[in-house]
Amino acid sequence: MKIKVVESVMKANDAVAEANRRRMRAAGVLAVNIMSAPGSGKTTLLEKTIPALAPLRSAVLVGDLQTSRDAERLGGLAAQTTQINTGRGCHLSAPQVAAGLDSLDLGQVDLLFIENVGNMVCPAAVDLGEHRRVVLLSVPEGDDKVAKYPTLFQPADAILLTKMDLAELLGFDRRRIDDDLAAINTSAVRIELSPRTGLGMDLWLQWLRQEHSRYGTAAG
Ligand SMILES: Nc1nc2c(ncn2[C@@H]2O[C@H](COP(=O)(O)OP(=O)(O)OP(=O)(O)O)[C@@H](O)[C@H]2O)c(=O)[nH]1
Ligand SMILES: [Mg+2]
C-alpha cells in the first residue's frame, strides 16, 4: 500500500511537470534545472551567467529550505527572480515550480534558471518540467562523487566541473571523473569551469545560447 502512495505522489508531480513544460514551451521559454550539493557554486555561476547572456532575458526560480538570500543575490541581475522556500523539503517539486511560474511574466523571459535545493540525491528523481538538466560538481567535493551519486549525473545534459581554480591545491583528478562517467553518461557536455577566474565561462555561455537557439527552432 505504501508503494502505491509513493507512486501516486510521483505521478501527480509528473503530471504537473508536463504541464509546466508545455506552458514554458508555449511561451518560448527554455527551462534549465541546476542541481548540485550545497555550496557547489550554483548562485555564483548564475551571478556571472545572467548578465553575460544579455540580450537574452533570464528569470530565476531559486529553491532553498529557508531564507531569501540567493534571491537577494540574483535580484539585481535577473529581471525576474522568485525565491521558493521548501521548509524541510530537500528538493523542489513541480507544483512549487508551477506556483513560481505564476509569479513570472513568461512573455518577457527567454531562459528560466531553476536553482534547485542543494542536495546530491533528492532533486535527481523529481521532474520539474525543465527542458535541460545541468549538474555542478565542485572540486572541494572530491573527484570520487560521480560514482557515488550516479542518479544525479546519469540524466544530466551538461556536467560542470567547477571551482577548477582549486584543482591543483586539492589534487583533483579529472581523469577519475571521465572514467566514472564512461559507465553512466557519455552524452552530456562536460565543461571545466571557474566562475571566479572566468575559466570555461565562454564554453558554458556558448552551450546555453546554442541550446536556446536549438530549442527555439525545435518542433516539440
Ligand atoms: N574558489 C572558488 N570558489 C567559488 C567558486 N564559485 C563559487 N565559489 C564559492 O563557493 C561558495 C558557495 O557558493 P554559492 O554560489 O553560494 O553556492 P550554491 O551552490 O549556490 O549554494 P546553495 O544554494 O547553498 O546550495 C561561496 O563562498 C563562493 O564564493 C569558484 O569558481 N572558485
Ligand atoms: Mg545558491
Average pLDDT of the chain, as a whole number: 94
**Beta-ladder partners of 62:** 83, 115
Please tell me if the CB atom of residue 166 comes closer than 6 angstroms to any atom of ligand 1.
yes
The pLDDT assigned to 217 comes to 73
Q: Write out the three cell numbers for 104.
A: 513570472
Q: Would you state the pLDDT for residue 220?
A: 46
Report how far ligand 1's centroid is from the alpha carbon of 195 (Å).
9
Domains and CATH numbers, the chain: 2-217 (3.40.50.300)
**pLDDT tens per residue, range 151-202:** 999 999 999 999 999 999 999 999 999 999 999 999 999 999 999 999 999 9
- Ligand 1 in reach of 123 Cβ (< 6 A): no
Q: What is the mean pLDDT of residues 101-124?
A: 96
Q: List the residue whose alpha carbon is closest to atom 1 of ligand 1.
A: 163
Beta strands of 116-211 (E only): which ranges? 132-138, 158-162, 189-192
Q: In which band, very low, low, confident or very high, does the pLDDT at 2 lie, cut at 50, 70 and 90?
A: low
Contact (Cβ atoms closer than 8 angstroms) between residue 201 and residue 48: yes
Return the axis-axis angle of helices 42-53 and 201-217, rounded to nearest 10°.
70
Task: Give pLDDT, residue 36.
Answer: 98
pLDDT range class, residue 1, cuts 50, 70, 90: low
Which residue's CA is the closest to the ligand 1 atom numbered 29?
44
Residue 219 predicted with pLDDT over 70: no
Average pLDDT over every residue of 48-69: 95
Question: Which SS3 state, helix, strand or coil, does residue 30 take?
Answer: strand
Quote the ligand 1 centre to 188 CA distance (angstroms): 22
Of 33, 34, 44, which is best to mutate to test ligand 1, by the most ligand atoms within 8 angstroms of its C-beta? 44
Over residues 51-67, the mean pLDDT reads 95
